[in-house]
Structure 1
Amino acid sequence: MFARLRATCKSFKAATKAIVAFAALSALAACNTTGMPMSNNGPRIDTSKPVPVALLVPYESESSSDIELARSLENAARLAMADLDGVTIDLRVYPTGGQAERASAAASQAVAAGAKIILGPVYGGSAKLAGIPAANAGINVVSFSNNPDVAGGNVFILGNTFRNTADRLTRYAVSQGKSNILVVNGESAAESAGAAAIVAAASRNGARVAGQTSFELSQMGVTQGIPQITSAVRSTGADAIFFTSGNDGAMPLLAQLLPENGVSSPNPQFIGLQRLNVPASALTLPGLQGSWFATPDVALTQTFVSRYSSTYGGPPHSLAGLAYDGIAAIGALVKSGDKNALTTQGLTRQSGFAGVNGVFRFRTDGTNERGLSVATIQNNQVIEIDPAPRAFSGIGF
């Protein structure tokens, strides 16, 4: 069974290399540096003229998936530009090749050309290096990364973080009476970071960590870890299991072997830190039926996908909405008419921004807070069970 599931996921990985490099459990792929506190950084702008915005994307990469991602990000950015009311963006695209050194050079070029803000690059290490020449010029960088370790100073991240997902799902679990949580993670730096985020979320949101168990990331490691997980469930009385693994890794085998050993959702409730509906083939896995996971605002995302597809003749990359969100935020700030709109103070406004992935705002440490939906899998379909909040005063924040 594991071999069949691994074969399915292997093709998925090949098709989504860029997603995996960016997604939740690859947050530590970037430089391991701590984000610096924010300063009120940013240039003065002339809101009566087109605002120069640099877009750093991985064109000219050796990876075809990077090229696909770059094209989708640029398309989404231009779609957002067309939606701006009374604001004109002068978008200038710089290829990074998916490399940190080239991203730094591209940032230097963008600054020299007069960019007032940099949107991108994708990968965390690239964002960190791009932030250096930008900081020297007093320019902010709004990266597509989700790695909190590269956020801070003049670098902001748009990607959804472990903290956002863990907080949203933990709050929902507590509201549904599932507050005694067993944390299960693979033995890798990324999954350990995910587990730490879940533990912290439990503390913030009134849940109890019943225990934490881990396993080696291999077929044998998962198999050998099943008795330990099942024993922990029974000895602690856990009413929920929060997994850090995704369907490109250990989750399919966990979802097969745990039910075979008498542990299946909803008693205890399976919760995924990663999106358990990816790839689409995972929806048919019996062990994932009834599991919970977080997604961007379902209705808004569907609308964006439909509009993008009708405009460009095909669906967007799953990360394309981040580029739209970035342009939407920049446009909203520029429309205010404030010459200091693109400073740190402007970017971190408490009311946040409305994007195609839902509402979001930047924290003062350079990370972000996003409105997420909670979804489940029923009869091989994704069902939204708790809609994303549409404002930061709403339920879920």
Structure 2
Amino acid sequence: MTAIFAATSAAPQERVSGFARAVKRVAALSALALLAACQSVVPKGGNVPVAGPKPDPIVIPADGRHQVALLLPITGPDGDVGQSIANAAALAMTDTNSTTKINLKTYDTALGVAAAAQQAVADGNKLILGPLRGDNVVTAADIARTKNVPIISFSNDIGVAGRNVYVLGHLPSQSVDRIVRFAKAKGKNRFGAIVSNNVYGQRASSNLTISVRDAGGVLVNVQQADDSQASIDAAVARLKAEGPVDAILIGGTGGWARMVAPSLKRSRVNAQILGTELWNIDSRLASSADMRGAWFASVADGYYRQFAEKYRTRYGKAPLRLSSLGYDAILLTSRVSQEWQLGTTFPITNLIDPGGFIGIDGAFRFSGNGLSERMLEVQEVRAGQFTVIEAAPGAFAK
């Protein structure tokens, strides 16, 4: 595994400086040390470079830097998320001294994702970081493929992965599987679920079915509900009528979970509440008395807390939780740029390292199909905080 950060138990100010030193060491490492495990062949049928038109002649950028596009919603409804990710990317550019070798240009997808992608390709960018939403990735990828420009997306939509598109977002399937296996190890055998009636809820339901089966548990029942309290109460009643369960997965956002949990208590459904990676981005969960004792699986927060301190110092406010994706995307780009010939196609096969990488969100790696795999920890909702009750595994199984 290619390590980026070193764990520390130093005082707060020392942790920040240690974080900065660790990041700067990344830029100084040789390509051999950073990518020694990247010599593996892309799996058959995996995310190989797409055969497109003949490559254009190599044109060396005038400023002698790799051209990289950042496609994000800087304005509009998702502008706060996009700007936070962009700020994190800028912070990573400084921390890794990448401004001398990478020219990062931001394109606002809120003004039209197709126009943003077309302009990014026309400007000669050889790599696209983003967009944020899955439907935008599809649009951008269709345009980027005309010039064999690969994409590292911030989406968590597994449907967009492949054909030169890599998904850096946190995948719900891994979160569901991690929490189910943890619960099963703690003696929970009969599982139920209340899931939101949208695409995320449908996938959570499908993932739960597979995970419970693989863990050797029993899936009693899954109920869907919309965002109304009446619909949630009805779903809880239907679930209760199916018989007792040991654990209930709430498949939805943190805000939606804060509506479901009280309904479970009012109906006297006594079962361990389980959640997904979406809960980690909702700090209000920790203040909900009805959520106390709930378990959920998520990326580790240790490095993120150090990053957040640096972010607040630079921008005067706290980052949004998803901003770590922007930071890690730049870490990857900076690393691969050490073996990237100026003016040529981004070497995406160097992203496939069986040992994985460590970034702000802990250990992760890409598979040949374009999906990211992450080491997740299990957290418990306690009074005013999330507490780690099982740490993320230390290494990937090769």
Shift of 1:152: 1.7
| Structure-2 residue corresponding to 1:306 | 309
| Structure-2 residue corresponding to 1:103 | 113
| Structure-1 residue corresponding to 2:252 | 245
2: CA distance between counterparts of 1:85 and 1:341?
22
Structure 1 residues 279 and 347 mapped into 2: Cα distance closer, same or farther (>3 Å)? closer
| Structure-1 residue corresponding to 2:103 | 90
1:51 to 66, 80, 91: 66
| Structure-1 residue corresponding to 2:190 | 180
Structure 1 residues 158 and 284 mapped into 2: Cα distance closer, same or farther (>3 Å)? same
Structure 1 residues 336 and 353 mapped into 2: Cα distance closer, same or farther (>3 Å)? farther
Q: Which residue identity lines up with residue 261 of structure 2 in the other structure?
A: A
2: CA distance between counterparts of 1:45 and 1:386?
50
1: CA distance between counterparts of 2:258 and 2:208?
20
Q: Superposition pairs for residues 22-41 of structure 1, below 5 Å?
A: 38-41=47-50
User: For structure 1, which runs of at least 5 residues remain unmatched after alignment?
Assistant: 1-35
> RMSD of the alignment, in Å?
2.8
| Structure-2 residue corresponding to 1:166 | 176
1:361 to 331, 340, 365: 365
Contact kept, 8 Å, 1:328 with 1:354, in 2: the verdict is: no
| Structure-1 residue corresponding to 2:289 | 286
| Structure-1 residue corresponding to 2:396 | 392
Structure 2 counterpart SS, 1:55: strand
Contact kept, 8 Å, 2:236 with 2:264, in 1: the verdict is: yes
Structure 1 counterpart SS, 2:222: strand
Structure 1 residues 204 and 139 mapped into 2: Cα distance closer, same or farther (>3 Å)? farther
2: CA distance between counterparts of 1:196 and 1:46?
48
Structure 2 counterpart SS, 1:321: helix
2: CA distance between counterparts of 1:348 and 1:49?
26
Greater mean alpha carbon deviation, residues 269-278 or residues 122-131: 269-278
Aligned residues: 346
Q: Superposition pairs for residues 328-339 of structure 1, below 5 Å?
A: 328-336=331-339
Structure 1 residues 341 and 232 mapped into 2: Cα distance closer, same or farther (>3 Å)? farther
Cα shift readout 1:138-173 (whole Å, capped 9, x = no counterpart)? 110111111111222122221111112112212222
1:194 and 2:204 aligned: yes
- The alignment-based identity, stated in percent, is 28
Shift of 1:325: 0.9
1: CA distance between counterparts of 2:249 and 2:163?
33
| Structure-1 residue corresponding to 2:127 | 117
Greater mean alpha carbon deviation, residues 46-55 or residues 311-320: 46-55
2: CA distance between counterparts of 1:115 and 1:207?
49
| Structure-2 residue corresponding to 1:376 | 380
Instruction: State the TM-score, normalizing by the size of structure 2.
Output: 0.78
Instruction: State the TM-score, normalizing by the size of structure 1.
Output: 0.78
Greater mean alpha carbon deviation, residues 104-113 or residues 210-219: 210-219
Shift of 1:105: 2.4
Contact kept, 8 Å, 1:38 with 1:365, in 2: the verdict is: yes
Structure 1 residues 318 and 139 mapped into 2: Cα distance closer, same or farther (>3 Å)? same
2: CA distance between counterparts of 1:345 and 1:208?
40
Contact kept, 8 Å, 1:45 with 1:116, in 2: the verdict is: no
2:261 to 243, 255, 260: 255
Shift of 1:182: 1.5
Greater mean alpha carbon deviation, residues 271-280 or residues 373-382: 271-280
1: CA distance between counterparts of 2:241 and 2:253?
22
Contact kept, 8 Å, 1:375 with 1:385, in 2: the verdict is: yes
Structure 1 residues 205 and 144 mapped into 2: Cα distance closer, same or farther (>3 Å)? same
Contact kept, 8 Å, 2:340 with 2:346, in 1: the verdict is: no
| Structure-2 residue corresponding to 1:272 | 275
